Amino acid sequence: MKPFFLLLACVLAWASFPARAQEPILIRFSHVVAPDTPKGKAAERFKELAEQATEGRVRVLVHPNSELYQDREELEALQLGAVQMLAPSLSKFSPLGVREFEVFDLPFFFPDKDALHRVTGGPVGRDLLRRLQPKGLIGLAFWDNGFKVMSANRPLRLPADFQGLRMRIQPSRVLDAQMRALGASPMILRFGEVYHALRSGVVDGTENPPSNFYTQSMQDVQSHLTVSRHGYLGYAVVVNRKFWEGLPPGIRSALEEAMREATRYANTIAQEENDRALQAVRASGKTEIHMLSDEERRQWRDALAATTAEMEARIGKDLVEEIRREIGR
């Protein structure tokens, strides 16, 4: 961690510690996306519910848009206790050493959200969250964003259209392999850097659900977008373990209930937010939208089939098999 971030982390950790018993317990909830997204709105909903349920004994400060920390730094800050709560995308847990989370990045793997929710809401989901504990984190919930689109400054209809493009990815080996299989060069960048990297030509294209695309104004710097639904993007809400276990039990259970309610809310609004964002991109007239045809999708799948097979070994064959049984694939 850079000295500045370390210093900031220490100051925030110190400031979050209640000096007197009657002072509210502070939860800093840091995230990297805009407030007007599924995650941004759900974080605000959690704040409302948590403050209400604890009658003001807990205060939640939501910090959107990487205003405190960017992707990797926010996880480090959580481990240090400088912030108490985050909801990183599932693709960002692998660099912590929990590569099983990369199963969510497998291309064309989850047929729909119902199948996904059977996994995240069942024993596999619980087991994945438990794997975060040795890292100093407690996983509280899974929140949806949605299925991803691909964008660039040229039409992306067939795998050959990716040839030679530099595509921004999150830090996941599966996403790296996915872009290479399509003929592109993947480049890991923090979310907060993507717009500028697209604008300056550091990268040519990217992938994300429409809500993240639109709220970062990517329509200003990407002339083509393909609704490919080739992969899923969701979140795990995590808290600092020491902080969570140190809470008075009554407060903790009130926060757990607030989180259950915020999760229902997140998973209810996500699809609508993405539909609305796609409409807004279309209405901007700046980005041409292409809906992948069945035949085009077949060609994408064929190009990516070997990647899935190869990445299964990295993620863990037993886990992948268990999930396949759960989703009937």
119-127: which pairs have CB atoms within 8 A and are 24 or more residues apart?
A: 119/323, 119/326, 119/327, 120/234, 122/326, 124/319, 124/322, 124/323, 124/326
**Residues found near ligand LMR in the complex (CB under 6 A):** 32-33, 39, 89, 145, 170, 191, 208, 212, 233
The H or E element spanning position 139 is: strand 137-147
Q: Cβ 198 to ligand LMR, closest distance in Å?
A: 12
Nearest approach, Cβ of 191 to ligand LMR (angstroms)?
A: 3
Q: What's the per-residue H, E or C state across 83-125? A: CCEECCEHHHCHHHCCHHHHHHHCCCCCCCHHHHHHHHCCHHH
As measured in angstroms, the least distance from the Cβ of 121 to ligand LMR is 20
**Least distance between ligand LMR and beta carbon 73 (Å):** 13
Distance CA 185, CA 191 (A): 17
Nearer to ligand LMR, 193 or 326 (CB): 193
Angle 244-248-250 from CA coordinates, rounded to 5°: 105
Q: How far is the CB of 45 from ligand LMR (least distance, A)?
A: 16
Instruction: Report which residue's Cβ sits closest to ligand LMR.
Output: 89
User: Within 10 A of 329 (CB to CB), how many other CB atoms are there?
Assistant: 12
Please say which residue, 72 or 297, places its beta carbon nearer to ligand LMR: 72
Choice between 5 and 235, CB closer to ligand LMR: 235
